[in-house]
């Protein structure tokens, strides 16, 4: 249940961020901005109640949100997508994997 809730939190945060960009030209999008960010924070609190460590939940949520927002903004709004950003995506993926792997206690010897 934790992982689907985290995916939904990421999706709602990315949606809100993209709506924020759209609201620059069309203020009606602010409704989706508020709803998306609100839902995202509610889902993060649910994930924490389900027992996911905050370092893992927040790390994956924030890093994935940055990467997915950049990719979606390039596709939707024509924002730039450079090779340097590609290196950043690789670093984000590596960081998220390390956080997840590091969150599990070492077995006793």
Task: Read off the pLDDT of residues 45-95 as tens digits, 9 standing for 90 and up.
Answer: 999 999 999 988 998 899 899 999 999 999 999 999 999 999 998 998 888
Task: List pLDDT tens digits, range 6-46.
Answer: 999 999 999 999 999 999 999 999 999 999 999 999 999 99
> Which residues make Cβ contacts (< 8 Å) with residue 21, sequence separation at least 6?
73, 77
pTM of the predicted model as reported, rounded to 2 decimal places: 0.85
């Amino acid at each position: 249940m934790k992982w689907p809730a985290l995916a939904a939190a990421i999706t709602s945060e990315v949606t809100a961020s993209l709506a924020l960009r759209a609201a620059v030209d069309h203020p009606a999008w602010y409704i989706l901005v508020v709803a998306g960010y609100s839902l995202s924070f509610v889902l993060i609190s649910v994930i924490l109640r389900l027992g996911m460590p905050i370092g893992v939940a927040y790390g994956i949520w924030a890093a994935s949100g940055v990467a997915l927002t950049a990719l979606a903004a390039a596709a939707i709004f024509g924002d730039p997508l450079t090779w340097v950003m590609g290196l950043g995506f690789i670093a984000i993926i590596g960081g998220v994997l390390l956080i997840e792997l590091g969150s599990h206690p070492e077995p006793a010897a």
